[in-house]
Amino acid sequence: MSSSLASSTGKNGLAVLLAVCLAALALPISFTGGALAAHTISIEFKASAAQINWITNSFMLTFGSFMLPAGALADVYGRKRVFIGGVIVFAIGSLALDFAPGIVTLNLLRALQGAGAAAALAGGSAALAQEFTGHAQTRAFSMIGTTFGIGLALGPLLSGSLIERFGWRSIFLTGTLLDVMALAIALTVMRETRNPDSARFDWPGALSFIAALGFLTLGLNQAPERGWADPAVLGAFSLSAGALAVFAIIETHIKHPLLELSLFRYGRFVGVQILPIATCYAYVVLLILLPLRFVGVEGYSEMDAGLLMLALSAPMLAVPAIAGMLAKTIPASRLAGGGLIAAAAGLFWLSQIGSGGPMSGLFGPLLLIGVGTGFPWGLMDGLSVTVVPRDKAGMASGIFNTTKVASEGITLAMVNALLASLVLFAVRQNIAGEGTAQYVGEAARQLAAGNLDKSAGMLAPMGRAALTGVYDSAFSMLLYVLVTVTLAAAAAVLVLLSPRRETSPGKDCVVQE
């Protein structure tokens, strides 16, 4: 670790940082590993397509919805206590996954993992803010970002190797081992701190926020199976909207809100919130969708799929740091916007490559997407606290982290639902001349979830080649949507993050480009 990290307000700052980084490393490995193992898990447990989607959605739902409340809990009840509790919950959930008897139990344990991950990350970040100050604090938090980059880059390769050698359950044991090490260090060196100015915890705000995300994810996951106009789906969306309205009312009338909505009057702050959403559509969703395609549709081994995913994720090891250095001379709006445009170009390139081609043909577009996304990825954390008044920086960071994590879960649910709908539409178009299939809906959802074998068994009249063509067509259409969203986000970033956007931010507002 850099010597610049040695300046700490506590005696054990570096050890605390190591504990938080070990806990943080377990999160992306669990995230990418679950996606790579989904095909094998679905075969072993004979899971439906919706159950396969919940392998990721359940983790991301609780991770995203508990992040904001966990940060507030850490301030009120103690940062160490929340971090330790989160690490223990994550470790227990990971260990229990090794003995999961079925898909329902597995998905419930994945949700438990997500809740523990939120508490560990929120509590650990808050603890680090008490251990380091000034430039040392910036470097400490950048180490967490680097740790996430390492996990995202090496997670698929590590998971692929573990699955082939020891089976899919071994990838979750990795999370347990990392968290046990983090726990042993934290119990010894981490000191307990609280925010003396924190009021009682905002339970109504927290519960309404969790309900809003939960019902939205439920509706998105049910829509491909039931139909978008189904009363249950519309009811879930309505409940989500109602919970969100309640949350907004609570937060505008409470003295110490979980979310200070007034920050959204800063145009550049709004622009920063677009960055994690854009990277979700351009990059994060591919971490889930591509392993399903590579293993379940194209027939690659988990190891080969991990190698392909390395082309997408490896740039995260270096590009964010390069972006930070370039930002000293090039406006961050141009770096982030330009990176998103490059990622959109990579997505379009990928849309032109169907299944069955040479493995080497996929490296180019995946690398371009990873490099392009690395620019906004490396800038957005710093920007989140430099575009608002200094006294709002803490709240701004909390909002940004919540946006980043919550948007991942919502985006994954939306994209999975869209792909399933596109595949279902294409299957129905192609099977019209083959007679009536008995399980068209479930077969299409299985295909969208990357289970070509099961789909072909249900739709024998079509054949594997036709189903592969249906999948390729739907996947390309999905990528066109992702290209459009990414380009729209790039345009918004170039406008909203322009230094001229805030004509008079005030003397207490830190504006960096």
Q: Which tens digit of pLDDT belongs to each residue from 306-339?
A: 889 889 988 988 898 888 888 888 888 899 999 9
Place of tokens 């969208």: 448
Q: What would the DSSP string read from start to end of 245-258?
A: HHHHHHHHH-SS-S
Residue 435 confidence (pLDDT): 44
Type of residue found at 220: L
Phi-psi region of 35 (alpha: psi -120 to 50; beta: other; left: phi over 0): alpha
Taking a C-beta distance cutoff of 8 angstroms, is the pair 349, 368 a contact?
yes
**Structure tokens, 49:** 């397509």
In Å, what is the CA distance from 282 to each residue of 72, 347, 412, 481, 498?
30, 7, 11, 10, 22
User: 125-176 pLDDT, tens per residue?
Assistant: 888 878 877 667 667 777 777 787 788 778 888 888 888 888 888 888 888 9
Separation of alpha carbons 51 and 45, rounded Å = 10
Taking a C-beta distance cutoff of 8 angstroms, is the pair 253, 208 a contact?
no
Cβ atoms < 10 Å from Cβ of 317: 16
Cβ atoms < 10 Å from Cβ of 265: 9
Phi, psi of 509 (to 5 degrees): -100, 125
Place of tokens 């680090």: 128
Say what percent of the chain tops pLDDT 90.
Answer: 29
Residue 386 confidence (pLDDT): 67
Place of tokens 């809003």: 212
Say what percent of the chain tops pLDDT 70.
Answer: 88
User: 225-247 pLDDT, tens per residue?
Assistant: 777 888 988 999 999 999 999 98
Residue 505 confidence (pLDDT): 40
| Res 195 pLDDT > 80 | no
Phi-psi region of 404 (alpha: psi -120 to 50; beta: other; left: phi over 0): alpha
Residue partners of 307: CB distance under 8 A and separation at least 6? 157, 160
Q: What is the mean pLDDT of residues 400-404?
A: 77
From the list 237, 264, 272, the residue with the least C-alpha distance to 248 is 264
Select the more confidently predicted residue: 130 or 211.
Answer: 211
Q: SS3 of 509, please?
A: strand
Select the more confidently predicted residue: 302 or 513.
Answer: 302
Per-residue pLDDT band for 120 (boundaries 50, 70, 90) equals very high
Residue partners of 154: CB distance under 8 A and separation at least 6? 29, 310, 313
Q: How big is the CA angle at 26 (ends 24 and 29), to the nearest 5 degrees? A: 120
Residue partners of 436: CB distance under 8 A and separation at least 6? none
Taking a C-beta distance cutoff of 8 angstroms, is the pair 223, 236 a contact?
no
| Res 512 pLDDT > 60 | no
| Res 391 pLDDT > 60 | no
| Res 344 pLDDT > 70 | yes
Q: How big is the CA angle at 37 (ends 443 and 91), to the nearest 5 degrees? A: 130
Buried/exposed code over 154-187 (b: 16+ C-beta within 10 A; e: otherwise) = bbbbbbbebbbeeebbbbbebbbebbebbbebbe
Separation of alpha carbons 275 and 273, rounded Å = 5
For residue 25, the surrounding DSSP H or E stretch is helix 13-45
Q: SS3 of 259, please?
A: coil
Q: How many CA atoms lie within 13 A of 174 on its CB side?
A: 28
In Å, what is the CA distance from 453 to each residue of 73, 142, 427?
46, 43, 15
* Dihedral sign (CA 161, 280, 84, 9): positive
Separation of alpha carbons 169 and 22, rounded Å = 20
User: 408-462 pLDDT, tens per residue?
Assistant: 888 888 898 899 889 888 888 777 544 444 578 788 888 888 888 888 888 777 7
In Å, what is the CA distance from 109 to each residue of 4, 113, 166, 321, 331?
39, 6, 20, 35, 44
**Structure tokens, 450:** 């990357």
Separation of alpha carbons 257 and 392, rounded Å = 13
Q: What is the mean pLDDT of residues 385-398?
A: 60
- In the chain, the domains with their CATH numbers are 1-199 (1.20.1250.20), 203-255 (no CATH), 264-513 (1.20.1250.20)
**Helical H segments across 227-331, by residue range:** 231-253, 267-279, 285-291, 302-313, 319-326
Look at 95-109, 381-395, 409-423, 472-486 and tell me which has the smallest mean pLDDT.
381-395
Residue 513 confidence (pLDDT): 43
Q: What is the mean pLDDT of residues 378-382?
A: 79
Residue 509 confidence (pLDDT): 46
Q: What is the mean pLDDT of residues 248-256?
A: 80
Residue 500 confidence (pLDDT): 59
Separation of alpha carbons 121 and 347, rounded Å = 31
Mean pLDDT of the chain: 83
Residue 230 confidence (pLDDT): 85
Q: What secondary structure letter does DSSP report for 387?
A: S
* Dihedral sign (CA 497, 498, 501, 503): positive
Taking a C-beta distance cutoff of 8 angstroms, is the pair 32, 175 a contact?
no
Type of residue found at 400: F
